[in-house]
Structure 1
Amino acid sequence: METLNERAGFLCNHEVLQILREQRDERASRIKELQRARKNGPRKEEFGTRDEIERIQPQDLHTVTFEALRYLEESVHPMRRQTTASVSKLLDELEELDLTKAERLQLVNLAPTTAVELHVCIEDITERFDEAGQERLLQLVKEHLGAEDAATAATKQAEEERIVAAAMEVDEPAQQEVDEREAEALMDDNALIDEGYAGRGDQYENDIDETAEPAE
């Protein structure tokens, strides 16, 4: 594998979180479509469908996505309080200041609330920003990323519930359904075999009765 473009662009953690959610939901939607199509399909397509599900979402990809989402959505991270609009507004404000792209990215990802945290985000901050400038940076971060209103909290809870539901559904992609259909088919085969043996038994009894009749 060759990396054609090592750094096509910068993404903040909030953008990474959004992309992971979108990709997860897209894969889950494609898997559901396959499952619905298979319900009315012939049995010979079942194993091909399982291979297709594994191709859409390999187990290692599912695990990495699930762990990354769980990490980014932990309460200790500021992404829980961020929206696309708030991040965009903050970046617009920061572009007017003497900051590099990496420093603006750090301010969004870490959302500092104290001067100590601000020093982690900006190199040589004391030489580039006086106390008033540092206070302005903290105020901008607080204004755009510091509040978590009721709507954001509701969205967060809904997203958590959706993650749990998606994880439970995709972990065993339709395996239970396949097993049930195979079990039903096996029961049908056994019933046919039993019926065949029963018919042969009746024929044997008739043959024995005919043989046992005394000759006249």
Structure 2
Amino acid sequence: METIKANSAFLCNYEVMQILQQLKDNTQKKHKREGSLATVTYETVHYLQNSDSRNETPQAIEKFLEALKPFKLTKTEKLMMVNTPPRTELEIQLIVQESEERLSEEEVRKIVTIANECLPPPDET
């Protein structure tokens, strides 16, 4: 098998969780699939349901990405921010390559504020 277009599409954790939940639901209706696939699906869904993705919605993700447009971030940087919303300025530095040159301190604070408004952290329960 050959990869024709590497990275032609990116999926955020929320989208992966939705696809796997549908796969899991369809699998339960049909005959049981191979044990390893069912285990991987179950473990991945379980992990994603306990991550920040749990409280995300397509509308919130769209609003977040729209708000990030002025910052000229790469697709992968935006994807990382959707998957793990930055809650501190340090997290921005870890996600954005050469952030000190590309973003001002005010822009970094603005991104953190946008993340907290659009993608609220999961409940601490």
TM-score bin (small chain):
0.7 to 0.9
Consecutive unaligned residues of structure 1, counting only runs of 5 or more, are 32-52, 150-216
Cross-structure match for 2:99:
125
Counterpart CA distance in 1 for 2:23 and 2:59 is 21
Corresponding residue SS for 2:71: coil
Structure number with higher relative contact order (C-alpha < 8 Å, ≥ 6 residues apart): 2
Instruction: Give, as a single letter, the amino acid of the residue that structure 2 aligns with 1:25.
Output: D
Which of 53, 68, 88 lines up with 2:44 in the alignment? 68
Which of 99, 104, 116 lines up with 2:73 in the alignment? 99
Q: After alignment, is 104-113 or 78-87 more displaced?
A: 78-87
Instruction: Give, as a single letter, the amino acid of the residue that structure 1 aligns with 2:57.
Output: T
Alpha-carbon offset, residue 78 of structure 1: 1.1
Corresponding residue SS for 2:70: coil
Cross-structure match for 1:205:
none
Cross-structure match for 2:83:
109
Cross-structure match for 1:206:
none
Alpha-carbon offset, residue 140 of structure 1: 0.7
Identity across the alignment (%): 33
Instruction: Give, as a single letter, the amino acid of the residue that structure 2 aligns with 1:104.
Output: K
Could you say which structure has the larger radius of gyration? 1
- In the alignment of these two chains, the number of paired residues is 123
Q: What does 1:1-216 align with in structure 2 at a 5 Å threshold?
A: 1-29=1-29, 31=30, 53-54=31-32, 57-74=33-50, 77-146=51-120
Alpha-carbon offset, residue 70 of structure 1: 1.2
Residues 19 and 59 of structure 1: CA distance in aligned 2, closer, same or farther (over 3 Å)? same
* Superposed CA RMSD: 1.8
Alpha-carbon offset, residue 101 of structure 1: 0.3
Consecutive unaligned residues of structure 2, counting only runs of 5 or more, are none
Q: Which runs of 4+ in 1 moved over 3 A?
A: 1-5
Counterpart CA distance in 2 for 1:140 and 1:27 is 38
Give the helix-richer structure, 1 or 2.
1
Counterpart CA distance in 2 for 1:127 and 1:5 is 31
